[in-house]
Structure 1
Amino acid sequence: MKRALDANDDGTVSPEKLHSPKRQATLQPSAIANINISDFPNPLMLTVLGNDVTENCNSKEEITGSVVDTEQCGEPDFVENVPHKVDVISEEFGGDLLVVPESTADLPPAEDVVSENETPQKTYAPLKTKYHPTWQSAYVFQKSKEIKKTIIVHKPVKNNVGELGNPVVPSKTSVEPYCCIMQTFMKKQLSWTQSEKIVLIENGPPQPIFDSKGFALKDYENFPWLAGCIVENKVFCWCCLLFSSIGIWTTSVNQNQRGAFLYAMNRHASTTSHAEAHVLMKQWSSKTKVIRNTVETESSVTIPQTPKDSTCLITRLIANGFIQGNWTEKEREEIIAQGRPTPKWVSSLTALASSNKNIMESFCDQEYKRKPWLCGSAEQGKLFCWPCVLFCPQGAWSNFGYVNLSMLTQGILRHEISQPHLESSLRLKVWEQQVKKKSAVQKLPRLRHNEVMRRSRDFMKYVVDVVCYFKKKSKTNDATYDDYMKVIKTISRLDSKLQHYLRTRTFLEDEISSISKSVEVCLKNRIIKEVNSANFVVLMLNQVGNKPWLSVVLRYVKQNGDIMERFLQFIEFNSDRTINNILHKVLDAISFINEETKLIGFTHDESLFKPLDLAFFSSKMTEKHPTSTFFHYGGHNLKSLLQNSLSQMDLCKTFIYGIQELVKFFEENSIAKTSLIIIDQEISGGEKSDSIWDFSSGLIETLNYHYSAIIKLFERMVRSAVAWNTETIAQAQNFISFLQPLESRFLIATISRALGIIDELTKLMETDFNVDKWRRIAEKTTEDIIKTRCEDFEDIFQSALSMVQSDQEYIYDIAYAEKFDQIMEAISIFIHGRTKDLDKWSYMELAMISTKHDLSKSSLFKTYVECLITDFPNMGFEKLSAQLTFLNGNAIFKGKTFDELIKYIHELDMVNALPSLHKFSQLLLTTTLYPISSPKTPTIKRLAAYFNDRQKITSADTLMYVEKDLLTELQTEPDFYRQVITHFVNNLTGEH
């Protein structure tokens, strides 16, 4: 048998010629255990205690390890040879599971191998040992694929240490020689983990009894650091085996050389390397209990400071030696990894500079680059030798520091050739190599994981693009999962990487909605960012079809003059439609608006507001956002809004719903409209009617004026079954049943009278912006409603009776009078609520005055400007009067609308020259009291079109379709995909 270690002159040995003979382990499988590896910190490694792992006791296989020497001190790396006979279990465990048959084994440490391949070989290695009275060897299995949940192992059988010399009698099915555990320790020198070292130190060194005259049992008492190996017939230094960075001391136990044996042990006990290892052993022994109860992480490593008020690493190392001090293993590794401190000369070495002012210029920071061992202490103002500070504390360059800059060159030359410096430099390099190797091993799983994640993210980019593609298309039915996969597979034909990835990875159907939600978050974040960078914003709320939802649309103007109307989200109320719940959810939806961005107005289409709730909602919104006021959106029709408001009253809800169904019927059936006009002419004796046929917001008025013709139309549809389809006939029957009762006729007559009263105000607010005129007409309309409420009930009731010729006489019913009174009161409240704050928008008339009139002749000009300054004190409108006068008299700006003006100011880069005018233009364009300027297709109309095409509506899908232009813009930004994928992954893992 070859010598495992050759002795050096000083009694130590170096593992340059290490050649381990094959070792054989006792194989006695006793049971099979299922081990859940989810609790292990490193899922790629699983420690399995036992003599060996076997599945088939009838098979034998020899496993050996080869040795590759390294450049540093002959330290060996090991490259494992995978056994030729290995059983693999793959299906139910989600990956290949290595099961090593009964074998004899030469077992190298798997964690020392850093393979550059993505998929390492299956390896195993010994980890732990325990001698006296029992011993164990341990093995690590490292899978070539990610371990999923369960690994099957065999429990070990422990053997008494005395059986090492006389191996256990093998079973009939196998041959089971013995193995020497010390060979495992020699190969795994300096690569034990912290937990493994704790176990080894607690168990102590293996100390077998040698059958030799050169050995005495009392040697273990005199030299407690001795460890023995019967197979090698040698003793080793247990301290050096675990902690020495120079080499492992060993000597043979010869038969008749007792004196030489004692001399070798005494000589080694006096060496510096043994003292260093012995100190580390003592520290570990004293801290074993503390370490066991302490969980340390990389992020929590803090280097202790001694003295407490010192922040200088050199000072702390001198006071608390690197080897002898109370540093933990992680702290020592951190010091080695951080490297030497090199403070700057002028800014840091103040003490050194003050004591050597005359030669201050002789030192240059380039010395640090020329001498890689040179370091400095800013606190002491001295230069030091970094290797000597760590490993040779007794010396001028390590303990006291160097201050004589005039002799710096000579001092460096003398120190560089000193033996302590050379030995310390060697030790530092060995430590650096060990730290580097350990770091590489620890980083390898993370690097592999990152590579897998990079490929997954590349794949997800394609998926995100495909999802965006389908969501931006307007279809009646949503795309199916198969549609997504077809597009992805088509793209993969042009991308080999994607094609390869699709073989192992696909995406599930439920992931599509998750990706859509992640895209929604990114879109909303961009909209929020744009809103908070604007000076003014208004809120527009509208009902979503027949659902109990409100769509949230924000309107604002960018600095370049672009008018934005962005859909943000849906607000769902479900069963709780109380005004408090609506208010809470609306305020929560716009809670992101910062103080610098002014919410100047809000509006809604009355769909979810009862007439009496409007005043409460407006007051609470103004209380939360003092600069905001309710306004009438120029795109809303006042008659439609009134009907929406009445639909929230219990006595009108069913009636308004029936009217809405009639509106849809006539919108979709143009033949019915033509037939109705013909029937009306027949009833009037062939004369063409002068009345306007309104089949939308004025349909109730049309019903009131042409009730007989409409009833006759539906009766003919029912009788002429051949001319109309089945669905139309069924609708006609329902409409007859809906319109004929007195209840419906009374509501038709009542609401028609109210719509006629507000007709003038409706047309005025759609065609002309004049706050004073709006206010006057609104007051007149309210007075007319109140007058009708007081005087016209009997007339309206008789009108409802006369719609149908009947012999039955109706007696005056008090119930109808009460309904009439409630409806008229609600209508008057509705008109007052939508027009009471018009005076707060009077400054909007500045837009008309400044473009159509001479400001010097306008009596209201100064009043409006003062009103604007009062309402927005921090917007700098004090200069607006002068800048509007300049606008009115300058030929370049004359005749331009405000949406043209703001773009022109931005293009000429005159925002800083005309700041008040620029902000005033933004203010005018943000508010939509009248259609001064708006996007080509308002967002409210785009939302309505989207609702008509879709049966299934979600907030994410709606946002991606309505804001498709913004989504396309985001897809050109690389950071967009990272944000979407990160949010998607966080949702899967439950992180937020």
Structure 2
Amino acid sequence: MDVIFKLSETKFHKLTYQEQLAIKDQGRPKPKLKIEVAGKSRGKTYLRQFNMDVYSRNNWICGCNQKDALFCFPCVLFADDRGEKIWTETGVKDLVHLSEKIKKHENSKTHIGNEIRFALFGKINIQAQLDSAYWVNIQKHNEEVTKNRYILTKIINCIKFCGAFELALRGHDEKETSENPGIFRGLVNFSSELDRTLEEHLKNASIFKGTSKSIQNDILDCMLELCHEEIIQEINKTPFLAVMADETTDVSAKFQMVTIFRYVTKDGDPVERFWNFLLPMKHDAKTLSETILGVIDPILKNENQKLIAQTYDGAAVMSVFFGDLNEIPAFFSHSPQRVAVLDQIVGRKMPRSIPTRWNFNIRTVNIVYEYRDCIIECMEQLKDDSNALTCRQASGIRRILQDSNFTFWLTFFHHAMPHVDVLYNQLQKRNIDPTEAQRVISVFEQNINSVRNKIDSIILEASNFDTLSIGAKRKQRFEFTNHLIAASLIISEKFVQYHNKFPENELDITYLRGAVPFLKFIISNNLEETMGETKKLLQILVTTPMTTTEAERSFSTLKRIKTFLRNSMCEDRLTALSMLSIEKKFIAEIPNFNEKVIDKFAAKKDRRIPLIIKKLQ
């Protein structure tokens, strides 16, 4: 039976209810039609024939054998005067423009309404879904979900607070009766005193309180996952990417590798995002490279050309001088008796030496230089101490302080370290670009040469000292600066010179100094298309890391989080807590951060409390 042809004679609404249900249950007719359309286009003839695939691509299209045309099944059933007659009465035979007609019809208000009526026709539980009891149950559920999400938000805020300030979440005893439950539990308890809803939850909840260590770990995992997703979104939108990797040894003697990504945001600002800490199985080149690739490959996928720079710092190597120098504050830090002698003779406390990859404690250098004779007197007195270890160490330090080579280097670094400190502070800026890096390095080299020329008389007194070594070390440290050549393009002082005679392979840039300001100038003034190649050059320059100070900051955070008392935390928890500390500004800028974390927390596994809002079906 040709249903469509029958309905053209007897409308659907005139049939009995049982007949209507039978037509719906039978479904739309999908006959093989004989439609053919011949034509001519661009001098060539063509023949279009009906293809059965049209039924599978559109679940509302049906056919009529007697009219040899296509119809809309829902609109044929529930047609009114507002519908398109071509889809309900005459039928569609135009195969050439069929796709356009389908798209237009399925987006029409009448068609959408008829599809809804068709879907709901014959449903016996429509009224049951819309009755007051159904609405009340949904409302009660959603009220409970809102309350649970509010409580979980407060708990997340406590975790974020602890992470941002690098505080230990867990205490020695987290029982409710404990007097030392830890900072996290203490912070939750304090918050409950200010929030009645949270207070009632902690007192009355018997299934889910949200303060257990497993819940903490799940929330931290969700936070880290969300941060990674946001970073990946930023990386996907940036044309170039740089990766920085470095290593250190933590308090539990584990080899920790950190990964940092550097790229330019849509506003032209360079950012360096902490990604994770890793524990490579081995320390050989193959294992380290495979570990780094294991992080990069899933992010880049098939866009390997996006990675334009890789920065890997070597292991920290301390010179003999600074190794000896650090023995002095370390000696006084282990005994109050030694400190008492130091206070009596020197009258100054010895600062604790904190070596880094960039500079050394300038205060230690200056104090040892200024009070060298008094410190030697301290060692003379302490070498007669009854403690054998104190005697042995005091004698060794006295010999170091009286050594001519040590005395020379102490004098030299007393003059040189202020310049090293200035260089360190300038290079560790996150937004430093090649222009600024080239300038500060040049100034540093001039200052070091000036120091060297002023202490020639001291150099001659050191019998084992090579007068060329200072300049050689400085030259070796900054030997490779070819990657900064392109920065000369954007030195504003040279623009007049470039205007008269532009150097080969360089670009003419207007009046701004520095890669970052000029890139922001192009973006803010909508000149991306006009100066497209210049923009790419600037993005490459800004993306290329000038230093690895961000990795050093990460290691500082690592040492504050993973302390002697907190040395057994797993790598995921360490990375998550480090992310909360290092990227706290980035996290604060993520819209609806807590809500997104709760969504991930709820989807991670079935929870014992409802956390998802229900909508009316």
Superposition TM-score, scaled by structure 2 size:
0.54
Structure 2 residue aligned with 1:599: 307
Residue 967 (structure 1) aligned to one of 570, 577, 587: 587
1:959 is displaced (CA, Å) by 0.8
Structure 1 residue aligned with 2:110: none
Aligned partners of 2:213, 2:271: CA distance in 1, in Å?
Answer: 34
Aligned partners of 1:498, 1:668: CA distance in 2, in Å?
Answer: 48
Residue 517 (structure 1) aligned to one of 221, 229, 235: 221
Conservation of the 8 A alpha-carbon contact between 2:331 and 2:393: no
1:503 is displaced (CA, Å) by 4.9
Conservation of the 8 A alpha-carbon contact between 1:475 and 1:950: no
1:493 is displaced (CA, Å) by 0.8
Conservation of the 8 A alpha-carbon contact between 1:970 and 1:976: no
1:551 matched to 2:258: yes
Conservation of the 8 A alpha-carbon contact between 1:902 and 1:921: yes
1:942 is displaced (CA, Å) by 7.2
Note the alpha carbon deviations across 1:98-137, whole angstroms, 9 max, x for none: xxxxxxxxxxxxxxxxxxxxxxxxxxxxxxxxxxxxxxxx
Structure 1 residue aligned with 2:185: 482
Q: Which has the higher contact order (CA 8 A, sep 6+)?
A: 2
Q: 1:554-565 maps to which residues of 2 (within 5 A)?
A: 554-565=261-272
1:368 matched to 2:74: no
1:534 matched to 2:238: yes
Conservation of the 8 A alpha-carbon contact between 2:365 and 2:410: yes
CA distance 1:708–1:516, shift in 2 (3 Å): same
Conservation of the 8 A alpha-carbon contact between 2:192 and 2:198: no
Conservation of the 8 A alpha-carbon contact between 2:264 and 2:543: yes
CA distance 1:744–1:695, shift in 2 (3 Å): farther
Structure 2 residue aligned with 1:696: 361
Aligned partners of 1:476, 1:503: CA distance in 2, in Å?
Answer: 26
CA distance 1:981–1:756, shift in 2 (3 Å): same
Q: 1:320-335 maps to which residues of 2 (within 5 A)?
A: none
1:466 is displaced (CA, Å) by 2.8
Aligned partners of 2:327, 2:249: CA distance in 1, in Å?
Answer: 12
Aligned partners of 1:365, 1:431: CA distance in 2, in Å?
Answer: 14
Aligned partners of 1:459, 1:561: CA distance in 2, in Å?
Answer: 38
Conservation of the 8 A alpha-carbon contact between 2:193 and 2:199: no
Conservation of the 8 A alpha-carbon contact between 2:201 and 2:209: no
Note the alpha carbon deviations across 1:354-384, whole angstroms, 9 max, x for none: 479xxx9xx997441159xxxxxx9xx99xx
1:571 matched to 2:278: yes
CA distance 1:913–1:581, shift in 2 (3 Å): same
Note the alpha carbon deviations across 1:137-156, whole angstroms, 9 max, x for none: xxxxxxxxxxxxxxxxxxxx
Q: 1:631-642 maps to which residues of 2 (within 5 A)?
A: none
Larger Rg: 1
Conservation of the 8 A alpha-carbon contact between 2:241 and 2:543: yes
Structure 1 residue aligned with 2:524: 907
1:838 matched to 2:503: no
Between Structure 1 and Structure 2, the one with more helix by share is: 2
CA distance 1:505–1:731, shift in 2 (3 Å): farther
Conservation of the 8 A alpha-carbon contact between 2:163 and 2:577: yes
Structure 2 residue aligned with 1:93: none
Note the alpha carbon deviations across 1:241-268, whole angstroms, 9 max, x for none: xxxx9xxxxxxxxxxxxxxxxxxxxxxx
CA distance 1:539–1:664, shift in 2 (3 Å): farther
Conservation of the 8 A alpha-carbon contact between 2:258 and 2:551: no
Note the alpha carbon deviations across 1:315-361, whole angstroms, 9 max, x for none: 79xxxxxxxxxxxxxxxxxxxxxxxx853xxxx536444479xxx9x
Conservation of the 8 A alpha-carbon contact between 1:532 and 1:597: no
DSSP-derived class of the 1:854 partner: helix
DSSP-derived class of the 1:603 partner: strand
Aligned partners of 1:482, 1:912: CA distance in 2, in Å?
Answer: 55
Q: 1:534-933 maps to which residues of 2 (within 5 A)?
A: 534-544=238-248, 546-547=250-251, 548-573=255-280, 576-591=282-297, 592-593=299-300, 595=303, 598-607=306-315, 644-646=316-318, 659-660=325-326, 662=328, 696=361, 710-716=375-381, 735-736=393-394, 739=397, 770=438, 795-796=463-464, 835=478, 837-848=480-491, 853-857=496-500, 861-863=503-505, 865=506, 881=507, 884=509, 887-888=510-511, 897-929=514-546
CA distance 1:987–1:701, shift in 2 (3 Å): farther
Residue 944 (structure 1) aligned to one of 543, 547, 556: 556
DSSP-derived class of the 1:645 partner: coil
Residue 205 (structure 2) aligned to one of 502, 511, 533: 502
Structure 2 letter corresponding to 1:589: V
Structure 2 residue aligned with 1:460: 152
DSSP-derived class of the 2:300 partner: coil
Structure 2 residue aligned with 1:259: none
1:734 is displaced (CA, Å) by 7.2
Uncovered stretches (5+) of structure 1, i.e. residues with no partner: 1-244, 246-302, 306-311, 317-340, 372-377, 383-428, 438-442, 608-643, 681-693, 722-728, 785-791, 800-819, 866-880, 932-936
CA distance 1:559–1:698, shift in 2 (3 Å): same
CA distance 1:757–1:700, shift in 2 (3 Å): closer
Residue 349 (structure 1) aligned to one of 63, 78, 84: 63
Aligned partners of 2:389, 2:379: CA distance in 1, in Å?
Answer: 9
Conservation of the 8 A alpha-carbon contact between 1:537 and 1:598: yes
1:521 is displaced (CA, Å) by 1.8
Aligned-residue identity in percent: 12
Aligned partners of 2:375, 2:389: CA distance in 1, in Å?
Answer: 13
Conservation of the 8 A alpha-carbon contact between 2:29 and 2:63: no
CA distance 1:527–1:907, shift in 2 (3 Å): same
Uncovered stretches (5+) of structure 2, i.e. residues with no partner: 1-17, 19-24, 32-58, 81-86, 92-119, 129-133, 171-181, 348-358, 427-435, 453-459, 568-573, 609-617
Note the alpha carbon deviations across 1:480-521, whole angstroms, 9 max, x for none: 452254156346514799579735421323321331122112
DSSP-derived class of the 2:77 partner: helix
Note the alpha carbon deviations across 1:7-35, whole angstroms, 9 max, x for none: xxxxxxxxxxxxxxxxxxxxxxxxxxxxx
Conservation of the 8 A alpha-carbon contact between 1:943 and 1:962: no
DSSP-derived class of the 1:349 partner: strand
1:557 is displaced (CA, Å) by 1.8
1:960 is displaced (CA, Å) by 0.4
Q: 1:118-517 maps to which residues of 2 (within 5 A)?
A: 314=29, 343=61, 348-349=62-63, 351-354=65-68, 366-369=75-78, 459-475=151-167, 479-487=182-190, 489-490=192-193, 493-494=196-197, 502-507=205-210, 508-517=212-221
Aligned partners of 1:955, 1:979: CA distance in 2, in Å?
Answer: 21
Aligned partners of 2:480, 2:264: CA distance in 1, in Å?
Answer: 23
CA distance 1:987–1:477, shift in 2 (3 Å): closer
1:929 is displaced (CA, Å) by 3.2
